[in-house]
Amino acid sequence: MLIERRLPTDPEVAALIMTQQRELAEAERAGRPVDPVGYPVHDDARYLVCVLDGRAVACGAVQALDAQTAEIKRMYVRPAYRGRGIARHLLTALEESAYAAGHTVFRLETGSYLPVALHLYASAGYARIPVYGEYVGNPYSVCFEKRVPVAAA
């Protein structure tokens, strides 16, 4: 497995995000509650892609909220590749990217209708926090935060 940085304009990043949005729309049509709000792709986000056998199978992004805080966004793994630990590896790589950029607080938002994602974030040390930013008012948003201890000088 290779995890590499990609531009937000990369065709494989765009394809993964489009597939994610299509999957959510299909779930909604199947009668499962999903978030009806579509959030835009942020050009200032730093994207990482997981590549297996030459194919981009997962993506995620890090976007600075302020000097200390970064948001992890757009986590997605293609269905055929789920259950292999890819999301956990990708989450770790995104955290490392955020930390390398000087961030010590990581935030993220997911949907209440995504139990696997809720479990992943809780098991990775994230604690639930009140909804923030663009997610305020969305009844399906569940937000998390993780703080990285900083060694005293």
Domains and their CATH numbers in the chain: 2-104 (3.40.630.30)
pLDDT of residue 21: 84
pLDDT of residue 150: 75
Question: What are the tens digits of pLDDT across the range 3-35?
Answer: 999 998 899 999 999 898 888 777 666 666 555
pLDDT at 73 over 90: yes
Question: What are the tens digits of pLDDT across the range 80-138?
Answer: 999 999 999 999 999 999 999 999 999 999 988 889 999 999 999 999 999 999 899 98
CB atoms within 10 A of CB 112: 15
Comparison of pLDDT for 91 and 141, the residue scoring more: 91
pLDDT of residue 142: 95
Q: pTM of the predicted model, to two decimals?
A: 0.89
pLDDT at 59 over 80: yes
